């Protein structure tokens, strides 16, 4: 970004202590610090002397009063000390730096010769430049292509429909490489913008991280290319930054999701397998797909309908020739233990006589141009208008349309094209809240999907009081996790896109969005059978597991590539379905803590350099390490196993961590390693669907560690669909496994009141990678045969121990 005419704010001219921090006069503006928690500060700089208290819809937290802090003034500087963070503000000229209580750096402005220059601005734009050392790493920024470590690249934050022809030119993205198309694995910008990143400084003793969330929805350029500085600049809006002291990635993510919210507990069926296709189905056609899943005994929970179900792509309508009786179709799906999700785009066909358009126009609910005409773009139905989601009355209207649509029995809503995509027409003439505030397009472009998700969530929840809500969104902004899961948009059926999706999904996970997945086995182009099998094996081990493909492409059902791929897909999905108790527990935990589900190794092993550099493998939950196969013909791959014990899920072979191994990867399976010390709950057999699945038998897989220590795992059980868990209708078992020399003790404690569907009568204990032939349960001795034993259990806690 060209910044030669940008200028600094000047000197500090006054300092006032406030209840929450401090207010400073700086040149003609004000600078405010709010101490939100001892490890979390919010910094703001006014625009023309005024603060915007709600710069975006991302933040959703409440604090009751600031924690104690000290404000210390001296001749050259002002210090705000929370005990965890020391923010140092230089007076002449104004400059900022922050340190932890041990003196380690959180951030330091880059200063010019006059001692200022960290913050510069021109007109409504600003740029912040800070120091970095050549060996530091940067993580985060949500959905971005390339390496997980963002160092060495520049990025733009501007929600973009990546496959649309000439989308970069139409969005005036002249500064990016316009020769790239959305099919490139370096394409930028992408669908979702999350202005949040981690700065990691490592030395021989380990790594410390700090986090930074710039609460601004305008277009941004972020530059991590330089050796000694990094910068972020926004084309408008207020400088509002949340500074997270860390020093661990998990502390920062917990605090970031405190600020922007956490994923709502999802219905368990959303963790099942989803079948989607951009295709002109009829009701019989889609029901046949469901029947094929059942006949072929491939687990599946959800069938999806893309835009073809509508009457001429008019949202909230059905093509009644193809779908004459929607409730009957949905009832049939239910009989087959399947649910239905339908797509809803924001673009409303601009056509008199179409009720959604007529009503929205009559009530003045669509975005307008500066002059007050309806803004018209071009998406699937042709000329389209766009709901002005910035306004609460428009969100309420759209929610009501969704409520009515969903009441026919639709289980969830897929919201797409919400960057917003405007096709052949430039988006900039679209203004928001034109008659009252007349906001320029840039202010809300990146938040459009967030607002659409907010409104859709409201409608779907209203249709199903007491039930959990599932929404899938393509675009997003910080905070979208509160309302919607996301997928990685239109990808290509090739090995590079499979590989690219791993760091992309992991980065979404550490940017607050844990519910994420890529189209299996790629949206456009034709996958080879081998890629189809490998992608299904990988997709089954990601948070969101959906098959999808582009219109006009050949069939990509699990059975479309012949019996070999069908068999492997079935096995991959059966493994996912057997692991659902574990996966579901990981989701429930994530909804409380913000923990990612497809988590980078660095999240758990921050001090390990190889773990920090791994972006081709990940933990699925906190107990399974997944190393997907990323190239054709590959039947073995290198896997880095961090500290601890890792047990091959299939063979029981044990590996000490802290080393690279070569893992066998025959075509039948994805390399998978269970983490020593963990107890992994699983169903004894894979159900075909989660619907009404409350089995009498549950397996607990004990992954005995080689090293002594204490290890915790959790099993969360509830009805999986209602919000009853919020008032105690669940059973949560916390396992503590302790190893001391050759003695292993396990104690299981149960919390919650339980729930009516609970039917458990027995637990099957399975011991991985070690021979256990007897154990003590509540003082009595039991024999173990062939590494497993069944014990009676109705959901109560227990104590057991055994020798290894
Ligand atoms: C967009 C979506 C894709 C969908 C298509 C038609 O390209 O990303 O998933 O199938 O629109 O609705």
* Strand pairing class (516-517; 485-487): parallel
With tokens 């409504």, the residue in question is: 124
Residue 587 Cα, ligand 1 centroid: separation in angstroms? 26
Residue 103 Cα, ligand 1 centroid: separation in angstroms? 50
H or E segment at 564? helix 563-578
Residue 35 contacts by C-beta under 8 Å, 6 or more apart in sequence? 20, 21, 41, 66, 67, 69, 80, 82
Report the pLDDT value the prediction gives residue 34, as an integer from 0 to 100: 98
The two tokens of residue 258 are 């405190």
What is the C-alpha end-to-end distance of the chain, expressed in Å?
Answer: 62
The two tokens of residue 389 are 């989601």
H or E segment at 363? none
The catalytically annotated residue of 283, 388, 416, 622 is 416
Give the DSSP per-residue string, 171-196.
Answer: TT-TTS-TT--TTSTT--S-SEE--E
The two tokens of residue 506 are 């992991």
Report the pLDDT value the prediction gives residue 243, as an integer from 0 to 100: 98
Residue 493 Cα, ligand 1 centroid: separation in angstroms? 15
Q: Average pLDDT of each block of 10 consecutive residues along the chain (804 residues)?
A: 89 97 98 98 98 97 93 97 98 97 97 88 97 97 98 98 96 94 95 98 94 98 97 98 98 98 98 98 98 98 98 98 98 98 98 98 98 98 98 98 96 98 98 97 98 98 97 98 98 98 98 98 97 98 98 96 98 98 98 98 98 98 98 98 97 97 98 98 98 98 97 98 98 98 97 98 93 92 93 97 95
* Active site (annotated) includes residue 796: no
Ligand 1: list residues with CB < 6 Å.
Answer: 278, 306-307, 343, 416, 474, 489-490, 548
Report the pLDDT value the prediction gives residue 4, as an integer from 0 to 100: 87
The alpha helices in 386-494, defined as continuous H runs, are 392-406, 441-444, 448-463
Ligand 1 atom with the shortest distance to the CA of 417? 1
Residue 288 contacts by C-beta under 8 Å, 6 or more apart in sequence? none
The two tokens of residue 482 are 């509160």
Please state, in angstroms and rounded to a whole number, the distance separating the CA atoms of residues 294 and 337: 9
Residue 668 contacts by C-beta under 8 Å, 6 or more apart in sequence? 568, 571
10 torsion bin: left (phi>0), alpha (psi -120 to 50), beta (else): left
Q: Are 576 and 463 in contact (CB under 8 A)?
A: no
Q: Are 443 and 416 in contact (CB under 8 A)?
A: no
404 torsion bin: left (phi>0), alpha (psi -120 to 50), beta (else): alpha
Give the DSSP per-residue string, 69-132.
Answer: -EEEE-SSEEEEE-SSEEEEEETTTTEEEEEETTS-EEEEBPP-TTS--SEEEETTEEEEEEE-
Report the pLDDT value the prediction gives residue 258, as an integer from 0 to 100: 98
Question: Alpha-carbon dihedral of residues 148, 153, 156, 162, nearest 10 degrees?
Answer: -60
Q: In what order do the strands lie in the sheet with 206-214?
A: 12-17, 21-26, 29-37, 40-45, 239-244, 206-214, 196-203, 137-140
Q: At residue 627, what are phi and psi to the nearest 5 degrees?
A: -125, 85
Closest by alpha carbon to 515, among 479, 486, 548, 539? 486
Q: In what order do the strands lie in the sheet with 119-122?
A: 119-122, 125-131, 229-234, 220-223, 154-157
The catalytically annotated residue of 188, 306, 345, 419 is 419
- Write the CA distances from 634 to 25, 181, 212, 661, 761, integer angstroms: 62, 28, 39, 15, 43
Which residue among 162, 191, 306 has the greatest number of ligand 1 atoms within 8 angstroms of its CB, and so is best to mutate?
A: 306
The alpha helices in 233-383, defined as continuous H runs, are 249-260, 283-295, 326-335, 355-362
Please state, in angstroms and rounded to a whole number, the distance separating the CA atoms of residues 558 and 569: 6
With tokens 């350029």, the residue in question is: 221
Question: Alpha-carbon dihedral of residues 761, 767, 772, 773, nearest 10 degrees?
Answer: 40
* Active site (annotated) includes residue 757: no
Please state, in angstroms and rounded to a whole number, the distance separating the CA atoms of residues 197 and 492: 27
* Active site (annotated) includes residue 613: no
Ligand 1 atom with the shortest distance to the CA of 277? 10
Q: At residue 489, what are phi and psi to the nearest 5 degrees?
A: 75, -160
Report the pLDDT value the prediction gives residue 272, as an integer from 0 to 100: 98
Please state, in angstroms and rounded to a whole number, the distance separating the CA atoms of residues 105 and 120: 22
Which residue among 490, 491, 520 has the greatest number of ligand 1 atoms within 8 angstroms of its CB, and so is best to mutate?
A: 490
Please state, in angstroms and rounded to a whole number, the distance separating the CA atoms of residues 751 and 796: 9
- Write the CA distances from 639 to 147, 511, 768, integer angstroms: 17, 25, 20
With tokens 């068999």, the residue in question is: 567
Report the pLDDT value the prediction gives residue 554, as an integer from 0 to 100: 92
């Amino acid at each position: 970004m060209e910044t030669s005419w940008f200028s600094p704010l000047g000197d500090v001219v006054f300092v006032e202590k406030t209840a929450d921090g401090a207010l400073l006069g700086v040149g003609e503006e004000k600078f405010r610090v709010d101490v939100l928690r001892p490890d979390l500060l919010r910094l703001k700089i006014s625009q023309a002397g005024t603060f915007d208290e709600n710069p975006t819809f991302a933040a959703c937290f409440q604090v009751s009063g600031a924690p104690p802090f000290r404000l210390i003034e001296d001749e050259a500087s002002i210090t705000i000390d929370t005990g965890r963070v020391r923010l140092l503000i230089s007076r002449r000229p104004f400059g900022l730096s922050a340190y932890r209580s041990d003196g380690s750096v959180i951030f330091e402005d880059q200063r010019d010769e006059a001692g200022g220059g960290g913050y510069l601005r021109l007109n409504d734009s600003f740029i912040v430049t800070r120091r970095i050392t050549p060996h530091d790493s940067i993580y985060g920024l949500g959905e971005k292509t390339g390496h997980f470590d963002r160092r060495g690249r520049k990025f733009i934050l501007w929600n973009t429909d990546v496959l649309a022809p000439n989308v970069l030119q139409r969005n005036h993205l002249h500064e990016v490489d316009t020769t790239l198309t959305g099919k490139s694995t370096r394409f930028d910008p992408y669908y979702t913008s999350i202005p949040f990143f981690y700065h990691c400084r490592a030395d021989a003793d380990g790594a410390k991280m700090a986090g930074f969330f710039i609460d601004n929805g305008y277009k941004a350029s972020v530059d991590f290319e330089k050796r000694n500085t990094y910068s972020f600049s926004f084309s408008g809006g207020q400088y509002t930054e949340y500074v997270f002291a860390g020093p661990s990635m998990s502390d920062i993510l917990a605090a970031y999701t405190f600020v922007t919210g956490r994923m709502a507990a999802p219905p368990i069926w959303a963790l099942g397998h989803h079948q989607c296709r951009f295709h002109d189905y009829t009701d019989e056609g889609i029901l046949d797909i469901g029947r094929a899943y059942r006949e072929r005994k491939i687990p599946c929970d959800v069938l999806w309908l893309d835009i073809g179900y509508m009457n001429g792509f008019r949202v909230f309508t059905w093509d009644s020739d193809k779908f004459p009786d929607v409730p009957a179709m949905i009832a049939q799906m239910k009989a087959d233990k399947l649910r239905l999700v339908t797509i809803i785009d924001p673009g409303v066909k601009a056509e008199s006589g179409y009720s959604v358009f007529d009503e929205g126009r009559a009530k003045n609910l669509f975005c307008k141009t500066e002059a007050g005409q309806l803004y018209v773009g071009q998406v699937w139905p042709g000329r389209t208008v766009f709901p002005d989601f910035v306004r609460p009355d428009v969100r309420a209207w759209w929610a009501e349309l969704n409520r009515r649509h969903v009441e026919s029995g639709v289980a969830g809503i897929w919201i797409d094209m919400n960057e917003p995509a405007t096709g052949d027409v430039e988006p900039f003439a679209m203004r928001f809240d034109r008659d009252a505030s007349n906001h320029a397009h840039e202010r809300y472009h990146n938040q459009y999907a967030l607002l659409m998700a907010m409104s859709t969530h409201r409608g779907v929840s209203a249709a199903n009081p007491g039930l959990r809500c599932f929404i899938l969104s393509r675009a997003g902004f910080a905070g979208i996790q509160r309302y919607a899961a996301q997928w990685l948009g239109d990808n290509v059926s090739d090995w590079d896109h499979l590989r690219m999706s791993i760091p992309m999904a992991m980065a979404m996970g550490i940017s607050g969005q844990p519910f994420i997945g890529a189209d299996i086995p790629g949206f456009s182009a034709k996958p080879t059978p081998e890629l189809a099998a490998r992608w299904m094996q990988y997709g089954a081990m990601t948070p969101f597991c959906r098959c999808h493909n582009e219109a006009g492409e050949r069939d990509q059902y699990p059975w479309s590539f012949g019996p070999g791929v069908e068999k492997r897909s079935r096995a991959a999905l059966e493994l996912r379905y057997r692991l659902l108790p574990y996966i579901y527990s990981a989701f429930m935990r994530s909804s409380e803590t913000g923990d990612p589900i497809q988590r980078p190794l660095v999240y758990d092993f921050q001090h390990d350099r190889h773990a920090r550099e791994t972006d081709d493998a990940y933990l699925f939950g906190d107990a399974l390490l997944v190393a997907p196969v990323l190239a054709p013909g590959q039947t073995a791959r290198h896997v880095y196993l961090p500290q601890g014990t890792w047990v091959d899920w299939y063979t029981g072979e044990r590996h000490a961590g802290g080393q690279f191994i070569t893992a066998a990867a025959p075509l039948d399976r994805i390399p998978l390693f269970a983490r020593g010390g963990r107890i992994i709950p699983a169903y004894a057999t894979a159900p075909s669907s989660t619907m009404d699945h409350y089995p009498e038998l549950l397996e607990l897989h004990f992954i005995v560690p080689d090293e002594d220590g204490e290890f915790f795992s959790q099993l969360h059980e509830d009805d999986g669909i209602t919000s009853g868990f919020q008032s105690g209708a669940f059973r949560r078992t916390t396992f503590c496994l302790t190893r001391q020399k050759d003695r292993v003790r396990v104690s299981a404690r149960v919390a919650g009141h339980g729930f009516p569907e609970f039917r458990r009568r027995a637990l099957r204990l399975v011991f991985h990678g070690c021979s256990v032939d007897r154990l003590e349960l509540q003082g009595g001795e039991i024999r173990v045969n062939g590494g497993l034993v069944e014990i009676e259990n109705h959901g109560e806690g227990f104590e057991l121990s055994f020798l290894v």
